[in-house]
Chains A and B, each alone.
Chain A
Amino acid sequence: MYGYQLRHEFERSTGATWPLNVGQVYTTLARLERDGLVAQTGESDEDGKVVYRLTDAGHAELTGWFATPIGGADRPRDELAIKVALALTTPGVDVRAVLQTQRTATLRHLQELTRLKAVADGSEDTAWLLVLDSMIFRAEAEVRWLDHSETRLARRGTTSPPANRPGAAAPDPADAGAGDRAVPR
């Protein structure tokens, strides 16, 4: 396979969710070649493109990758959890508004994914459907966590430390409804 073909294959099976630029593909191929994981076959196709193949070491590396589960520590830090945790401890920030803003945004994303799934359903593109399902379940998990966080906050009976929030510091539960309207739309 050569670079363009690799990119095409990747995007075909992941539905172009994570677009690659072809420069990235060639840089990666060069590094893989340096590390002995791929090698040039010596042939080139009719357009003069260099064709690569996996070496034995490359094959072992690939098999190992498929066989290894992804650990939590390998994923990037969860910016949303950090944001909510900080919102809770930063005076003057309405955590419930932060949660709701995210909930609406995530629901919108979920609607988009669902529409794409409805379109893809008729096709036989199982790889793309699996990728979509994965994104849908992840977004759903996020909403559940947001709901759970809101319930936890409600049980605690506080939305943020009683800081200098004008008119929002009243602890009287009867005012809860009026406070709700402060959520941005």
Chain B
Amino acid sequence: MTGDLVLELRAAGRVHADGPDVVHALRDVSLALRTGELVAVMGPSGSGKSTLLHLAGGLDTPTEGAVLVEGTDLATLNRAELAAIRRRSLGYVFQDLNLIPALTAAENVALPRELDGVRARAARQEALAALTEVGVGDLADRFPDEMSGGQQQRVAIARALVGPRRLVLADEPTGALDSQTGEDVLRVLRARCDAGASGLLVTHEARHAAWADRVVFLRDGALIDDTGVAPPPEVLLGADGFG
């Protein structure tokens, strides 16, 4: 069973105690993500969604509980090992994109692959494929400040999807996109998961969350509800007499 889990949070909590008040950004969150599963996280602003994603990606460490990526407790890794896991297994789309201004779209997307040791030519080919997948293949040689917000967002998504990523973490990846483009991005993410990756997606758009296998709800740092694993379409079609 556990071998099937790409990501596991075990009673994970995150308390910020450095400032004037103690903030429970996340409390007692347990969540498991299987291979091929896309899980959406919803909740009001400040409910802990980004904190959850940061813990899952090893960018922040829990003050309670544990985070396991492909069965490995991230707390048992040294810095170099953690960096290697982050580079090889994980793809991120941050809420604030984080594209490097001095690099073109293709260079931004190819960078994590080159850091993985993939040769420049091959990395560029992979980058072009990922850019094309999200519909901005023709902008490969533009710099971030020569693109619209929505185009930059798609480049950031391509960077998270490039190469054989097993776990994609996306924080509001559709924020700057129009309704149709946002939906196209969700389709790409869905297709990646159907092909064997796993995804954790933060969104406040119900229409986008609905592409997930499961939607979990956060409030004040705690998981308060869950749609459960939804039945596959064949079941729906059968049950309602469609098709």
Chain A contacts to B: CB under 8 angstroms: 15-16, 19, 100, 103-104, 106-108, 110-116, 118-119, 136-137, 139-140, 143-144, 147, 150-151, 154, 176-177, 180-181, 183, 185
Contact = CB atoms under 8 A, between A and B. Distances in A.
B62 interface: no
Given A16-B241, A147-B44, A183-B225, A119 B219 contact: no
A123 to B, nearest CB: 10
B120 to A, nearest CB: 37
B24 to A, nearest CB: 7
A16 B224 contact: no
A16 B230 contact: no
B207 interface: yes
Contacts of B222: 177, 180-181
B221 interface: yes
Interface string B178-194: 00000000010010000
Contacts of B204: 147
A185 B219 CA distance: 13
A8 to B, nearest CB: 14
B209 interface: yes
Contact of A112 (B44, B217, B236): B236
Q: Chain A: interface secondary structure?
A: helix
Interface size class of B (residues with CB under 8 A): 20 to 34
Contacts of B227: 104, 107-108, 111
A183 B227 CA distance: 14
A111 B24 contact: no
B212 interface: yes
17 contacts: A16-B240, A100-B224, A104-B217, A104-B226, A107-B227, A111-B230, A114-B207, A116-B236, A116-B242, A118-B233, A119-B233, A151-B44, A177-B24, A180-B219, A181-B222, A183-B219, A183-B225
B242 A15 contact: yes
B1 interface: no
B233 A143 contact: no
A98 to B, nearest CB: 12
B27 A177 contact: yes
Contacts of B230: 108, 111-112, 115
Contact of B226 (A110, A151, A185): A185
Interface string B208-243: 011110010101111011111010110011001110
Interface string B128-155: 0000000000000000000000000000
A103 B218 CA distance: 12
Contacts of A107: 42, 206, 209-210, 215, 227
B242 A100 contact: no
Contacts of B237: 116, 119
B50 to A, nearest CB: 18
Contacts of B24: 177
Q: Which of B27, B207, B212 has the most CB of A within 10 A?
A: B207
Contact of A100 (B212, B225, B228): B225
A132 B27 CA distance: 38
B241 A19 contact: yes
Contacts of A143: 206
Given A140-B206, A144-B206, A118 B242 contact: no
A113 B210 contact: yes
A19 B240 CA distance: 10
Contacts of A180: 219-220, 222, 224
Contacts of B219: 180, 183
Nearest to B221: A177
B199 to A, nearest CB: 15
